[in-house]
Structure 1
Amino acid sequence: MAMQNPYNQYKENNVMTASPENLTLLLYNGALKFIYQGKMNIEQDNIQKSHAAIVRAQDIIYELNDTLDMQYDISQNLRALYTYILEKLLDGNINKDIAALDEAAAMVTELRDTWKEAMKLAKTRK
C-alpha cells in the first residue's frame, strides 16, 4: 500500500475535522486560491490550466450557494452576491478577463474577511 503525502494527509484531516464555521473559511480561501491560479495562468498564456482553476473556484462558490439556509434574510443577499461572483468568474474564464477575476477575488476576499470577523465575535460571546 502506497504511503500518502504527509502534507496532503494533514490537509485532508484538517477538512474532515473542521467545524462548519472553519469549513466555510476554508472554502473562501480555496476559492481565492483558485481564482489567483486562474489569473496567473491567463497571464502565462496557459489557457487549459486557467480554465481548470477557474472552474474549481466556481465549484466552491456553487457549493457555498447551495448550502445557504434560505430561512434567513442574509441568505438572500449572499445568494445574490454568489450569483454575481459566478457571473464574474464565468466572464473571466470565457473572455480570459483579468479584471473580472480581480472583481470576483475582491468580493470573495471581503466575504472571507467578514466571515473571519463574525467567527471572532461569536467566540467572544460564548
Structure 2
Amino acid sequence: MPMKPQQAYQQNSVTTASPGELTLMLYNGCLKFIKQGKKAMVNKNIQVKNEQLIKAQSIIHELMVTLDRSQPVSEHMLPLYEYIHRLLIEANVKNNPDILDEAAELVTEFRDTWKQVIQLCRKEKYTEGGQA
C-alpha cells in the first residue's frame, strides 16, 4: 500500500532529522497528545483521553531513558521528567484537565529552551565555519 504524501513527508523528516531535531519533535508530539487528551477529557471520551495521555507518557518516558546522564544538566532534567510523567498519570486517573495544563506548561518550557539551544548551535556552527 503506497504512502500518502503527508505520511512520506513525515517519515522523511524523522529519518533525516538530527538528534536535536528529533528531541524537539518529541516535545511537540507530547504537547499535541496532551492537548488531544485534554480535549477528549473535556468531551468525556475516556478511551481517546486514555490513549492520548498514554502516548504523552511514552514520550516523556523515552526522554527519560535517552537522557545523557553524563551531562550535569541531566541531574536537574530527570526529576522534572519524572514529575511530568506523574502529572500525566494523575491527570488521567483523576480526569483533571488542570493537571494537564501544568504538565503542558512544563513540556512547553523544555521545548522552547531546546529550540533556543538548537538555534544557538546552528549559529555557532555557521559562525565557526567561516561563513559569517
Report the TM-score when normalising by structure 1. 0.97
Tell me, what secondary structure is at the counterpart of 1:29?
helix
Could you tell me which amino acid in structure 1 is paired with residue 124 of structure 2? R
Superposed, which structure 2 residues align to 1:47-126 within 5 Å?
47-126=46-125
Tell me, what secondary structure is at the counterpart of 1:89?
helix
Could you tell me which amino acid in structure 2 is paired with residue 85 of structure 1? I
Segments ≥4 residues shifted beyond 3 Å: none
Alpha-carbon distance between aligned partners in 2 of 1:94 and 1:119, rounded to the nearest angstrom = 35
Identical counterparts, % of pairs: 45
Larger radius of gyration: 2
Alpha-carbon distance between aligned partners in 2 of 1:19 and 1:124, rounded to the nearest angstrom = 15
Any unmatched runs of 5+ in structure 1? none
- Once the 2 structures are TM-superposed, how far is the Cα of residue 29 of structure 1 from its aligned partner? 0.1
Alpha-carbon distance between aligned partners in 2 of 1:5 and 1:50, rounded to the nearest angstrom = 27
Q: Deviations over 1:14-57 (max 9, x none)?
A: 11111001000000000000000000000111000000000000
Partner of 1:17: 16
Partner of 2:42: 43
Alpha-carbon distance between aligned partners in 1 of 2:38 and 2:6, rounded to the nearest angstrom = 25
Report the TM-score when normalising by structure 2. 0.92
Alpha-carbon distance between aligned partners in 2 of 1:6 and 1:122, rounded to the nearest angstrom = 31
Partner of 1:33: 32
Tell me, what secondary structure is at the counterpart of 1:73?
coil
RMSD value over aligned CA atoms?
0.7
